[in-house]
Structure 1
Amino acid sequence: MEIGDKLRNLRIQKNLTLEELGERTDLTKGYLSQLERELSSPSMETFFNLLEVLGVTPEEFFSQETNDQKVVYKEADHTIYFDEENGYELKWLIPDSNENEMEPVVITFEKKGEYKTFEPSLSETFIYVLDGSVSLRLGSKTYTAKKGESLYYQATEPHQLKNYSRGKTRALIVATESYL
């Protein structure tokens, strides 16, 4: 199997679109597509970064089977994406969480920062506010939780998170299915 095919298969196993993988690696969707179709070759640094985001070591990537379960994840395992235009930073705490039932992330909002609007789905979402306060628009209703409070909801209506507080807001989000 070629490297591009293996990268595509790993991405698909992790339920990542090219765009989502691009967000996590700071690579363009077009470049990732070229890599998967063997039209371009990544630098060693880019290749290792892709493997890290996809949650595999080079040894695992080149071997046929991996049976070891990783249990402890360190800060170096985190993947960070910053959206300056919308004023938020996403930190994926588990690099391969897209293939799991839950996906834990920490989101940090700048003042008046907002996350994208999600379409209805079967996902369930838990949010614990670590600092500041976060507002959730769920359908036509808005709910606000401050530091030490939680939100828990089924994502059966369009929903969006925003920071209306005077400073930064930080929250732990755990969602079922991979929709973050």
Structure 2
Amino acid sequence: MTLNLKFLRVQSGMTLEQLAADSGLTRSYLSKLERGLSSPSIGSALKIAAALGTTLDRFYGQPDDHDPITIVRAKNGKAGDVDTHLSLVAGLAPDRTMRAFIVRPTKTAKRGRIMSHHEGEEILFILSGRIELVIGKRKETLKPGDCVQFDSTIPHKLTQVSSEPASALVVIATKTN
């Protein structure tokens, strides 16, 4: 992802300052992303991709593919990101309006992590462990099998609250133009 961000930014003729202004993120944060010192949340990745006029699949280095059926085999899935504990598992084709991720929030996400927000609608299905969802001023503790659907423009974040590792399937639907 590190190489793709800088490549896509340079390819589009943008400076870090222009990308920061267009994405609403700071120049220093974008610089850290380009150097591999930080990893974007889903919301930040969506904002950067939109500012670059590209899709998440190109942002994450997936090939453009116009096949109406997309299958991502377990052995070929986008590897998880160690910092955000996020794996892109579906929605790799550029013309798709939905993206699916497996997210593995940590206990440390509770302290200091800013809340994410992005265009679209989000579905969160808890696979394992217990996860605290903070959405706006509301807090919910979710367990395996629980499912939440919400407007993802509302600031939100996930934190593991169980002693065992937690994971959730996150599906984000964005509007098409």
Whether these two folds match at TM > 0.5 is yes
Would you tell me which structure has more strand in proportion to its own residues?
A: 1
**Aligned twin of 2:104:** 108
What is the TM-score with the length of structure 2 in the denominator?
0.58
- List alignment gaps of at least 5 residues for structure 2: 14-57
Q: In the alignment, is the contact (CA less than 8 A) between 1:136 and 1:161 conserved in 2? A: yes
> Which aligned pairs between 1:66-81 and structure 2 lie closer than 5 A?
68-81=67-80
Distance 1:79 1:145 in 2: 26
CA distance 1:94–1:165, change in 2 (3 Å)? same
2:144 counterpart of 1:147 = yes
Measured on the aligned residues, the alpha-carbon RMSD in Å equals 3.2
Distance 2:93 2:131 in 1: 23
SS in 1 for 2:90: coil
What is the TM-score with the length of structure 1 in the denominator?
0.57
Distance 1:71 1:111 in 2: 34
**Aligned twin of 1:19:** none
**Aligned twin of 2:172:** 175
- List alignment gaps of at least 5 residues for structure 1: 1-24, 38-49, 58-65
Q: What per-residue deviation string (whole Å, max 9, x for no partner) do you get for residues 36-74 of structure 1?
A: 67xxxxxxxxxxxx79832337xxxxxxxx5x3333221
| Paired residue type of 1:137 | V
SS in 1 for 2:158: strand
SS in 2 for 1:27: helix
2:132 counterpart of 1:135 = yes
SS in 2 for 1:151: strand
2:27 counterpart of 1:29 = no
Q: In the alignment, is the contact (CA less than 8 A) between 2:123 and 2:150 conserved in 1? A: yes
Distance 1:52 1:76 in 2: 17
Q: Deviation of residue 32 (structure 1)?
A: 4.6
Q: In the alignment, is the contact (CA less than 8 A) between 1:111 and 1:167 conserved in 2? A: no
Distance 1:103 1:51 in 2: 13
Aligned counterpart for 1:92 among listed residues 88, 94, 100: 88
**Aligned twin of 1:61:** none
- For the pair shown, which has the larger CA radius of gyration, 1 or 2? 1
Q: Deviation of residue 75 (structure 1)?
A: 1.6
